[in-house]
Structure 1
Amino acid sequence: MDELDQKVTPIFDGKVVRKDLLHRIKKGTNVPTFVLEFLLARYCASDEEAEIQAGLEAVLDTLNDNYVRPNEANRAQSVVATKGKHRFIDKVHVNYVEKDRRHWAALENFDSRRVAIAEKFYRDNDRLLQGGLWCEVTIAYNEIEEDDYAFYIEDLRPIQLSRFSFEQYCEGREEFSRNDWMDVILRSVGLEPTRLSQRLKMHFMARLLPLVEPNFNFIELGPRGTGKSYFFSEFSPYSTLISGGQATKATLFYNNQRKKIGLVGFWDTVAFDEVGGIKVKDPDTIQIMKDFMANGRFSRGVEVIADASMAFVGNLDLSVQQVVNSEVYDLFQPLPKEFDLAVMDRFACYLPGWEMPKNSSDFLTNNYGFITDYLAEAFHYQLKHTNRYEEVSKRIRLGKEVEGRDEKGIKKTVSGLLKILHPSSSPSDDEFEEYVSYAVECRRRVKEQMNKRKTDDEFALINLSYISSDGQEKVVYCPESQTASATQEPSRKNIHAGEFEEFKSEKNARQAKASEPTKPALDKSEAEVPVVHADAVVEPKEPQEQHFTIHYGDTGYSYESLIGPYLLGAKKVEVEDPYIRATHQVQNFVRFCEAVLKAPSVRKIVLTTSYDEETDVKQLSERLSELKQSLIEIDVELEVKVNDHMHDREIRVDNGWVIKIGRGLDYYQKPDNWFAIGVNDLALRKCLETKIDIFKS
């Protein structure tokens, strides 16, 4: 025990646990952290090694006897049927089944969706009806054969503290300095503060903000494996994590058919994991989300007010330095297209996930920290019963470029930090200034990315600042973008003028080319250099002009072999092909893009195509959008244009080469069956007859 351990254990006797004990058990089970610590607090509430060892054995025995592993459901059901009843640790959901006109409990690992439950259990524990709760639950066997169920719940106890005193929590906090208290919080979530910088400590505090501040809109995007979703999936029983999938207004906000409020009414925090995978089919969902994120209320026939915070976490696959120095991309790139600027503007805090360390045992603590459930209760109490916003408003002074939503976001971030680090007292001037500076940075990161997306100056006031205690105005910058001119001063291009000038110059070039005397096309037999399969000519040092015919049934003409040698130094490839419509034609274009990506310098692909009355435009748009998204993830932009009057088929590379293919990209024969050679490797696919002209413009 170090000095901090010796201090925290007597002050919070019975409410702290050695975190290395958790790590030792956690690796062998998928039980949530707060469930394991519930058992550790019951059996290992001692500092005597012999008692702790005996307690660990008791915890393991309890897990062996009472925790149902997903692959042991049949054995668990057999135990209940044989013994008559048995106590389990499992997650319990309660669902109302309309055709039965009654409620049924569903146990996740026990693997039964039709367990009878008394009304008192779900009446006293609302969250059983929304998302479920981990409980100690006694399942009994029903001997009455006429009943349509085999099991019923005889007893149920949520795995939470039976009582919590906020006054005692605050009294204990007064015995610690701010830095020591921050270290206690970090150890409570399993981290060793001596291995973290002060900036990283603030980042981890920011991850807790949605759990303590009501209606707090939070986003963190960064690499995989940094623990973004842990705080919302396992740290607190008052938060729920939605892992991708479809988010509906009935699930999230209000179900008009059942007259029931959604997740935002039952949880302190609703978190969205893998935010890029969210599917929003109903545009009303986004509009309701905007209303709720703005002021914690919305209307769906009835006026609903709720305190839930919304957190969005996801993966950022692109290089941060490339993004901040790009005129095209921004740090909101992974968000689904339905998340427009109005949604982004409601984020109070953008946590730079790329600065967070990867999960590693090197950062885990072996010292004492709060029982996770105890700290979660403290945060839950503060979210519901305390308000530090007015206190912050009276003390904070912000610069002239801070606008309405900036001010609100900054104040809510500071308010949340006060609740975590100063639950019943006020920080010093230096501490308060540290919180304000951090909050301004987190909001500026939001503002900078919106400013890059907007074609006018609506969000141009990005130099957010605050007035320090000595009266000086201090502008706060984001470390990743401070020297990036593409982010600090993004270009304001006319969205039409550039396209018109480009179209005009291309048209003039084509007219000039048409007026020149044309060279007679060489037949394959007349070519000075014998033409061999294109696959045999791989990346020539000096590519030459070619004019030849692919004959019916020829093989060896993959996209890569045709265009690969002509992509040296290319940054932009333009494809004009009116027939990218049918499924196989879109698949051909995908394969073409894969071939283009073999040239590492390419950063943009432009497709100009058309469609007719028989084209399923919606399906075509969805397919090209999916391709566009996958290209963005590897830092390549796809631009799609529609021109109903085009007939030319050609590929233009910005290094000057032009590849004209008579049939466009669709010059392959359709396979007789989809399990034949040539289906996947286009070099082995038989071709249709077409002419190829490759020349320098």
Structure 2
Amino acid sequence: MTNLDDALSGLRATGAEEVYVPAFTEDESGLDQKVNEHFAGSVVRKDLVKAVRGNAVVPGYVLEYLLGQYAASDDEETIQDGIEMVRSILAEHYVNRNEKVLVQHLIREKGRHRIIDRVTVDLNTKQDFYEASFENLDIKGVPIDANTVTNNQKLLVGGVWCICDIEYQPSDGPTEPWVLANLKPIQIAGVDFDRYNTARASFTTDEWIDVLMQSIGLNPEQFSRRGKLIALTRLIPFVERNYNLVELGPKGTGKSHTFSELSPNGALISGGEVTVAKLFVNNANGKLGLVGYWDVVAFDEFASNRRTDQNLVNIMKNYMANKQFNRGNQPLGAEASMVFIGNTSHTVPYMLQHSDLFDELPDSYRDAAWLDRIHHYIPGWEVSPIRSEMFSDGYGFVVDYLAEILHSKRNEDFSDKYQSHFSLGADISTRDRDGINKTFSGLMKLIHPTGVATPKEMEELLGYAIEGRKRVKDQILRIDATMRDNPARFGYRDSLGEWHDVVTVEENQYPQLYRRDWDAEAPRSGIAGSDLPTYTPPAPLHQPYSVVSVAPPLPILPDGSDSPVIPDATTPLFEGIRDFKAGQTGVSYENVLLPYLVGAAKITVIDPYIRMPHQVRNVGDLLGLIALAKGPADEVVVELVTTQTDKDHMKKDQLERLVALREAALSFGVNLDIRLVDGIHDRSIVTDHGWRILLGRGLDIWEPPTNAIAEARQEFRRIKSDTTFTYARTPNEGA
């Protein structure tokens, strides 16, 4: 038996390198032309990063820095020449770890050689000098000038990608032979901020949002307006000082990409590597931690970190509230924003039914006082898993250029821009108000960098900011019942005096689960001293599933009676053999399989032929029906046992389709466990509540659809050959 991920990883490791050919087109979009017109030399076509990356394991902003030097143009010949130049530079100067000895040899033979590597610096207190370490070249103890360190203090914390000239000067003593002759951090020399603000006026708001989306590497055509706002929210920590952001959601949605690839001003660390010394200060040597040097400190896989230092939690809590921490008895301030990223393993209704939306966080961080420091909660479950078509091939700002713009915006404050048109409820606490204002300010800096916007545009951002803070506060009310006595009414009043309630998407979709732990109507509709209208919770969108009510099936009469196969609650399910004839229509998973699966907690599907796209789609159709049939807060485990294709050219596609299907199913409360087993012949479905269905020829029973209606509904497809399904109760049936 083979694990799906292991099979796919092994295939990628042993397979040939993919050759990337940029999608050059003669006709640029109007937006691309406008961007090049107003920001010539500061934009780059985003698909070029993949074209030049090759085997270089470097962040995107390093590659875009080089592309910005040689390929920041809309002239095709210049772009082609620039790509070749960047490839040549990487081939000659980038240090691959597995070639470190070869590069060391090259430096020795030439006497001097230029390299691209990540450099960190430590203070040698015994000999009182700074010494540099080169990550990929794997050399340490190289003396570096104190002035260089002073001018580039991030070398001391986390390291910086640099272009360096290294010399080889052997000596008779114990000193290292390596000499750092020159060091240049990879960053843009200067940015014209006035030009940026002035040029913004030439773009509509929609166009500008799309420019920002393309700048972070995403294709705006693949995202809704709300999806774009969620993506841009990840940039707020770069423009707002001391902004605390949480994003929890399924795997593969690009949560950490923004913080690892898109700015040299952010540090991404594993949640398990967080310590007081690394984050704040090392009291043993007085060395400042990450918050003292970076604009953003992001904690990846934070939800999976179960080892918690309570002292760290307390220091972090104080810093997130007061922007200060102590070095010994001396208080120090810092401006770094904090971002907490984690994966969820359950659906939203499951978390609302059994816990809360902070369910995945370590217990020490599920503390109401710590959570109250969070300014905004990004609903990661609304973000689709990253697909190839979601990446942009349009023009966007060179990442390093954008990073400098964002950094400069940290000196501005747009949090009061809405107040001439809208006002928050008087009962909203100071912490709630701060969270809303900082999110609004950040989005204004990104989308309206001059601070000028229409009331309608401000209203959109304000409502979104309120929702993100409300999501935090409502979960705190679940965790700490003592905070439910004086709940806030989240919303705003417009210039005409009309009140607008703001609710979260999940509150609107699952109201019966969202407020399961407290009486929402009583406190929220009668806040003391309030003139607000009565709050009426939204009606549930999800009703108990009925197979018949979803789509009345065409009658399938295995026993010649007048009763359809799908029974009501009092009709027993059919047992025995059912024959389906070639050319027959009216057969769907909904009317021949789903009734036997409703109520099962675990379902095992065995079919050796889940290989082709339509076969994987068939499984997806079945999983979708299972997801509809279960309760919104329930989870169902489906084990798919199949075989890997023996055609080498198809293996990668098969495995990637199955991985994508697994990730999609998880977001709907179906945990798909895929096993690859050789030598399978039988085809069946077995449930844990007492049914076994022998599938004859398997799930792939139809001819290819011949029209759009047949594509949409299985009942209109023709059975491609005679097949038989056998339904039998198993000894462990729940009855």
Secondary structure (helix, strand or coil) at the match of 2:272 reads: coil
In the other structure, the counterpart of 1:427 is 453
Larger-gyration structure (1/2): 1
Where 2:213 maps in the other structure, the secondary structure is helix
Q: What is residue 239 of structure 1 aligned with on the other side?
A: 266
Which runs of 5 or more structure 1 residues have no equivalent in the other structure?
494-568, 572-599, 605-633, 637-697
Please state whether the residue corresponding to 1:358 is helix, strand or coil.
coil
Work out whether 1:189 is the aligned partner of 2:216.
yes
Name the % identity.
Answer: 39
Aligned partners of 1:401 and 1:465 also within 8 Å: no
Asked if the contact 1:192/1:363 (under 8 Å) is kept, the reply is yes
Does 1:309 pair with 2:309?
Answer: no
Q: Specify the alignment match of 1:62 in structure 2.
A: 89
Match of 2:150 in 1: 123
Q: 1:323 aligns with which of 351, 355, 360?
A: 351
* 1:479 aligns to 2:505 (yes or no): yes
- Asked if the contact 2:368–2:476 (Cα under 8 Å) also holds between the matched residues in 1, the reply is yes
Matches for 1:61-460 after TM superposition, within 5 Å = 61-278=88-305, 281-300=308-327, 301-324=329-352, 326=353, 328-339=354-365, 340-383=367-410, 385-392=411-418, 396-458=422-484
Checking the alignment, whether the CA contact within 8 Å between 1:393 and 1:411 is kept in structure 2 is no
1:648-674 CA-to-partner distances (Å, cap 9, x unmatched) read: xxxxxxxxxxxxxxxxxxxxxxxxxxx
- Residues 57-77 of structure 1, C-alpha deviation per residue, up to 9 Å, x if partnerless? 111111000011121111111
Residue by residue, what CA displacement relative to the aligned partner does 1:221-279 show, whole Å, maximum 9, x if unpaired?
A: 00111111111111000010111224222221122232332211100001100002346
Secondary structure of 1:491 counterpart: coil
Aligned positions, number: 502
Residues 655-666 of structure 1 mapped to structure 2, 5 A cutoff: none
Counting only pairs closer than 5 Å after superposition, residues 16-35 of structure 1 correspond to structure 2 as 16-26=43-53, 28-35=55-62
Q: CA deviation at 1:462?
A: 5.5
Residue deviations 1:189-216, cap 9 Å, x none? Answer: 1111122110101101111111111110
Counterpart amino acid of residue 110 in structure 2 = K
1:467 aligned residue: 493
What are the superposed Cα offsets for residues 569-608 of structure 1, whole Å, 9 maximum, x if unpaired? Answer: 999xxxxxxxxxxxxxxxxxxxxxxxxxxxx99999xxxx
Change in 2 beyond 3 A, CA 1:83/1:409: same
8 Å Cα contact 1:9-1:16 kept in structure 2: yes
* Secondary structure class of the residue paired with 2:269: strand
- Tell me: CA distance 1:6–1:459, structure 2 relative to 1, closer, same or farther (3 Å): farther
**1:276–1:334 Cα contact (<8 Å) kept:** yes
Render the CA deviation track for 1:516-574: whole Å, top value 9, x for unaligned.
Answer: xxxxxxxxxxxxxxxxxxxxxxxxxxxxxxxxxxxxxxxxxxxxxxxxxxxxx999xxx
**CA drift at 1:46:** 2.9
Tell me if structure 1 keeps the 8 A contact 2:421–2:495.
Answer: no
Q: How many angstroms apart in 2 are the aligned matches of 1:485 and 1:462? A: 17
Partners of 1:194 and 1:86 lie apart in 2 by 45
- Structure 1 residues 23 and 396: CA distance shift in structure 2, 3 A: farther
- For the aligned residues, what is the CA RMSD? 2.6
Over 3 Å counting, the alpha-carbon distance change for 1:463 and 1:46 in structure 2 is: same
Q: Distance in 2 between matches of 1:459 and 1:372?
A: 47
CA distance in 2, matches of 1:261, 1:392: 37
Q: Which amino acid in the other structure matches residue 30 of structure 2? A: E
1:443-464 deviation line (CA, Å, top 9, x unaligned): 1111121111123343762641
Deviations 1:323-380 (A, max 9, x none): 22x1x31110111111111111111110011111211110111111110100000001
Secondary structure of 2:107 counterpart:
helix
Native 8 Å contact 1:215 1:295 kept in 2:
no
Residue 391 of structure 1 deviates from its aligned partner by: 3.6
CA shift for structure 1 position 220: 0.2
Moved more, 432-441 or 460-469: 460-469
SS of alignment partner, residue 480 of structure 1:
helix
Distance in structure 1 (CA, Å) of the matches to 2:82 and 2:427: 58
After superposition, residues 631-650 of structure 1 pair within 5 angstroms as none
Between stretches 436-445 and 454-463, larger displacement belongs to 454-463
- Partners of 1:224 and 1:282 lie apart in 2 by 26
Find the residue that maps to 2:131 and give its secondary structure. Answer: strand
SS in 2 for 1:397: strand
Q: Does 1:5 align with 2:63?
A: no
Task: Give the Å deviation of 1:103.
Answer: 2.2
1:497-518 Cα shifts (integer Å, max 9, x gaps): xxxxxxxxxxxxxxxxxxxxxx
Q: 1:471 to 1:28 in 2, by over 3 A?
A: farther
Q: Distance in 1 between matches of 2:273 and 2:33?
A: 48
| Aligned residue identity for 1:387 | D
Q: Residues of 2 paired with 1:65 and 1:192: CA distance? A: 32
The equivalent of 2:579 in structure 1 is none
Structure 1 length normalisation: TM-score? Answer: 0.68
- Aligned mates of 2:412, 2:508 — CA distance in 1: 36
Post-superposition offset of 1:487: 4.6
Q: The residue matched to 1:31 in structure 2 has which SS?
A: coil
3-state SS of the aligned residue for 1:288?
A: helix
Correspondence list, 1:478-557, <5 A = 478-485=504-511, 487-491=513-517
Look up the equivalent residue of 2:492 and give its one-letter code: Y
Counterparts of 1:281 and 1:200, CA distance in 2:
33
The one-letter code sitting in structure 2 at the alignment partner of 1:335 is L
Kept after mapping to 1: 8 A contact 2:418/2:455: no
- Aligned partner of residue 161 in structure 1, secondary structure: coil
Read off the aligned partner of 2:289 and give its amino acid letter.
G
TM-score w.r.t. the length of structure 2 is 0.65
Distance in 2, matches of 1:350 and 1:73, equals: 43
The CA distance in 2 between the partners of 1:27 and 1:225, in whole Å, is: 22
Q: For the Cα contact (< 8 Å) 1:248–1:280, is it kept in 2?
A: no
Distance apart, 1:96 and its partner CA: 1.9
Amino acid at match of 1:360: R
User: 1:170 and 1:157 mapped to 2: Cα distance?
Assistant: 28
Contact 1:348 1:412 in 2 (8 A): yes
Asked whether the 8 Å contact 1:450–1:459 carries over to 2, the reply is no
Bigger shift: 195-204 or 17-26? 17-26
Secondary structure of the structure 1 residue equivalent to 2:364 = coil
Question: Contact 2:241–2:335 (CA<8 Å) still a contact in 1?
Answer: yes
Asked whether the 8 Å contact 1:280–1:338 carries over to 2, the reply is no
Q: C-alpha offsets along residues 112-153 of structure 1, whole Å, 9 cap, x if unaligned? A: 122222222211100000111111111111222314212121
1:301-331 Cα offsets, whole Å, 9 max, x none, are 112111110000010111112222x1x3111
